[in-house]
Amino acid sequence: MTPTTPVRTALTRQVIAGMRWLAALTGDPNGTWLAWAQGHAVPVPLGTAAAVVRIPEELGRAAVGVLAGHAPALVGPVLLDQWAGVVDVFVPAASAVWQGGDVQQIGGRQEPQSRIMCPSPGRTAVGRSWLHLPRALPDCPVVLTDSHRLAKALSVARTRLPVAR
């Protein structure tokens, strides 16, 4: 499996804990797990818990590949939206390090009412699937991608992609 292949794997304890964190954001964790069990995507409010950096798919896949190549344990949740042709990377809510007009931040402190559609682990719903599942570590409830590391990975990825003509 490459870092840009949608996840199709058994759930580990770390992933289950990360999905519990995500489900708790909805205010109805049990209803969220039920919807996921039925194959539905669930609108998850980002609030001040996290933000999402939305990146065009090709650039996003390349940047996530750079991140995963250097420190895979530090890559937070990443969603692929096949319908919109974008990759959504979860970052801490206080992040604000974005370069280029093709990258936008959703949620966080500036947009506390924002929601993002999240499918169940290992499934695709409303065109969305996980490239990296949410997961916890012993000392934190969920791993979120560091915004500075993401900005550096975007810079590297831009140099690796062919120039559009």
Residue 57 lies in a domain: yes
Residue 6 lies in a domain: no
Name the amino acid, one letter, at 159: T
Q: H or E element: which one contains 160?
A: helix 147-160
The pLDDT tens digits along the chain (165 residues) read 444 555 445 578 899 999 999 999 999 999 999 999 999 999 999 877 898 999 999 999 999 999 999 888 889 999 999 999 999 999 998 766 565 578 888 877 666 678 999 999 889 999 999 999 999 988 888 999 999 999 999 999 999 888 654
pTM of the model: 0.88
What residues make up the domain containing 133?
13-159
Residue 1 lies in a domain: no
Residue 136 lies in a domain: yes
Per the listing, tokens 């996980």 go with 130
Residue 54 lies in a domain: yes
Residues 15 and 76: beta-carbon distance below 8 Å: no
Number of folded domains that form the chain: 1
Residue 2 lies in a domain: no
